[in-house]
């Protein structure tokens, strides 16, 4: 569907004037052991096929997101997978893992430095500027779904290509926007059958953050000898990242470290308190996490993560999504200062949690009618009849590739259909079809012109007895 008219800029696309991109060396990536060459093409490490078996759960996530986007008036946006590398280098932050180690950066055939997007908020902000949406009615609310790429160490629940659903709101400052985004996320999880808790923190404005950082650095300097090389580097390059550290020693030291909440200015505090009040009003379960800073530099004020409650799996993978406010991002990209807030959910993680809970909706509704044929003349008539049923909205399947009636009836049995239609040579000559009731085994011969209406009536009668197509919950 084309973008709504209100978003179409007359004639030209706005190219913001940007300051030169910061000099960031391309990510250093460890050489990886190649597996022994195989006879067949193989997947790259960290990449995967999402097979038909899993699509029921994927559909549940995708459909829920689309329904929520519509209910809360978020407009769909599709953004390119490949962008100029400096879009991310400029916005995500110099010392971040994503920029330092995980970006797929390469030179394209036009000799431009390009990157596979590691996330889509920067692209959404770029699109907001490019299409002149600063001048539209605010807030401008987008949602997207698509693959992201990070060259991280693959493990269960962590891939190099993974899918995110994002909700972004540009142009609104008030704390209620942050709170409503969190509510949307929590409600989406609930509707899918997952219980989440929200971890939340505020990292204030860049100004209060810099006062806090000075204190944080001086605290960790006194313990420098105990830090890993990675954390020493973080302390020097981007000290806020030390709060993200996975090292046990650092996590222990963090317990006594200064906490950013004590460094917030009055306005930031007030904003944060309002967000929490709204969450309480909506009975959203949240936990204050003073170490939560999120992996990327563009955040300000509220930051939050959706964590699987009672995670039976590895807890480091229990973050199903996260987000926050990013009031400075549009400006960093050369646009007018624009408050903004959003979140992204990781589909693989959600699907994994659904699987662990035994939630397994069917990929598509089960067929209710099977069309069997015998011989070429029946196939010709069958091909047409199938179209009639499809147009009438009947969930029908066939096995035109099979010849023997026995094999076709076996297929019909396996599929668990309610009715099988049999079109033999005699029926074709007579202009009739046999309807076989699969449960009773009873058969009747009917006029081919009336068969669609008749089958529809029979299925409707069945539905009154046992409604079909409701989601399956196994175990």
Task: Report how far residue 418's alpha carbon sits from residue 163's, in angstroms, rounded to the nearest whole number.
Answer: 37
Nearest to 286 by CA among 263, 303, 264, 266: 303
339, 346, 361, 382: residue in contact with ligand AMP (rule CB under 6 A): 346
> Least distance in Å: CB of 51 to ligand AMP?
17
Nearer to ligand AMP, 279 or 347 (CB): 347
Q: Which among 20-28, 158-166, 203-211, 254-262 is the span making contact with ligand AMP, rule CB under 6 A?
A: 158-166
Q: Which among 28-36, 316-324, 334-342, 452-460 is the span making contact with ligand AMP, rule CB under 6 A?
A: 316-324
131, 141, 150, 352: residue in contact with ligand AMP (rule CB under 6 A): 150
Report yes or no: 343 and 307 within 8 Å, Cβ to Cβ: no
199, 348, 398, 418: residue in contact with ligand AMP (rule CB under 6 A): 348
Task: Report how far residue 234's alpha carbon sits from residue 259's, in angstroms, rounded to the nearest whole number.
Answer: 17
Tokens read off for 168: 């972004």
Task: Report how far residue 156's alpha carbon sits from residue 356's, in angstroms, rounded to the nearest whole number.
Answer: 13
How far CA 437 is from CA of 412, 448, 461, in Å, comes to 11, 17, 13
**β partners of residue 360:** none
Is 320 a binding residue for ligand AMP by CB under 6 A? The answer is yes
How far CA 249 is from CA of 13, 223, 252, 256, 378, in Å, comes to 50, 10, 5, 12, 75
Tokens read off for 97: 């893992």
Nearer to ligand AMP, 204 or 324 (CB): 324
Nearer to ligand AMP, 209 or 349 (CB): 349
Site for ligand AMP in 185-204 (CB under 6 A): none
> Least distance in Å: CB of 343 to ligand AMP?
8
Residue appearing with tokens 């010849």: 403
> Least distance in Å: CB of 83 to ligand AMP?
16
Is 342 a binding residue for ligand AMP by CB under 6 A? The answer is no
State the DSSP H helix or E strand holding residue 301, giving kind and residue range, or none if neither: strand 300-308
Is 424 a binding residue for ligand AMP by CB under 6 A? The answer is no
Neighbours of 384 (CB within 10 A): 9
> Least distance in Å: CB of 160 to ligand AMP?
7
Nearer to ligand AMP, 164 or 202 (CB): 164
Nearest to 74 by CA among 343, 274, 471: 343
Is 123 a binding residue for ligand AMP by CB under 6 A? The answer is no
> Least distance in Å: CB of 244 to ligand AMP?
10
Residue appearing with tokens 């490949």: 82
Is 292 a binding residue for ligand AMP by CB under 6 A? The answer is no
How far CA 324 is from CA of 79, 81, 183, 298, 457, in Å, comes to 20, 22, 13, 9, 53
Q: Which among 13-21, 131-139, 317-325, 432-440 is the span making contact with ligand AMP, rule CB under 6 A?
A: 317-325
Report yes or no: 384 and 363 within 8 Å, Cβ to Cβ: no
Nearer to ligand AMP, 164 or 420 (CB): 164
Nearer to ligand AMP, 295 or 424 (CB): 295
Write out the residues near ligand AMP by the rule CB under 6 A: 119, 150, 152, 158-159, 162, 164, 295, 319-322, 344, 346, 348-349
């Amino acid at each position: 569907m084309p973008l709504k008219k209100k978003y179409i800029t007359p004639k030209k696309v706005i190219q913001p004037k940007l300051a030169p991109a910061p000099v960031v060396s391309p990510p250093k990536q460890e050489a990886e052991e190649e597996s022994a060459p195989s006879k067949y093409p193989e997947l790259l490490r960290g990449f995967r096929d999402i097979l038909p078996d899993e699509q029921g759960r994927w559909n549940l996530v995708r459909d829920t997101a689309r329904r929520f986007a519509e209910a809360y008036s978020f407009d769909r946006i599709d953004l390119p997978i490949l962008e100029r590398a400096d879009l991310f280098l400029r916005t995500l932050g110099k010392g971040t893992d994503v920029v330092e180690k995980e970006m797929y950066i390469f030179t394209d055939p036009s000799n431009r430095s390009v990157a596979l997007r590691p996330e889509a908020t920067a692209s959404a902000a770029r699109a907001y500027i490019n299409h002149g949406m600063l001048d539209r009615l605010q807030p401008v609310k987008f949602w997207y779904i698509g693959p992201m790429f990070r060259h991280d160490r693959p493990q269960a629940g962590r891939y190099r290509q993974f899918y995110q659903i994002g909700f972004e709101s540009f142009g609104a400052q008030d704390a209620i926007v942050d709170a409503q985004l969190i509510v949307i996320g929590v409600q989406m999880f609930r509707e899918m059958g997952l219980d989440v808790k929200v971890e939340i923190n505020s990292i204030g404005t860049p100004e209060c953050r810099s006062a806090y950082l000075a204190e944080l650095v001086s605290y960790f300097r006194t313990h420098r000898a105990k830090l890993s090389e990675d954390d020493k580097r973080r302390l020097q390059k981007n000290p806020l990242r030390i709060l993200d550290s996975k090292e046990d020693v650092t996590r222990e030291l963090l317990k006594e470290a200064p906490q950013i909440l004590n460094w917030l200015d009055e306005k930031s505090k007030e904003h944060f308190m309002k967000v929490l009040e709204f969450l309480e009003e909506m009975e959203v379960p949240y936990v204050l996490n003073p170490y939560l800073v999120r992996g990327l530099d563009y955040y300000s004020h509220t930051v939050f993560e959706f964590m699987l409650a009672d995670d039976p799996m590895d807890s480091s993978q229990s973050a199903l999504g996260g987000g926050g406010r990013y009031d400075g991002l549009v400006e960093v990209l050369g646009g007018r200062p624009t408050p903004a807030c959003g979140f992204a959910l990781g589909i693989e993680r959600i699907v994994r949690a659904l699987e662990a809970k035994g939630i397994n909706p069917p990929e598509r509704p089960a067929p209710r009618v099977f069309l069997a044929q015998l011989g070429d003349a029946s196939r010709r008539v069958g091909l047409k009849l199938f179209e009639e049923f499809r147009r009438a909205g009947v969930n029908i399947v066939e096995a035109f590739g099979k010849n023997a009636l026995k094999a076709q009836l076996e297929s019909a049995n396996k599929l668990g259909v309610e009715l099988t239609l049999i079109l033999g040579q005699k029926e074709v000559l007579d202009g009739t079809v046999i309807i076989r009731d699969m449960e009773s085994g009873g058969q009747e011969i009917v006029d081919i012109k009336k068969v669609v209406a008749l089958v529809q009536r029979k299925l409707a009668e069945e539905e009154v007895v046992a409604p079909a197509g409701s989601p399956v919950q196994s175990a």
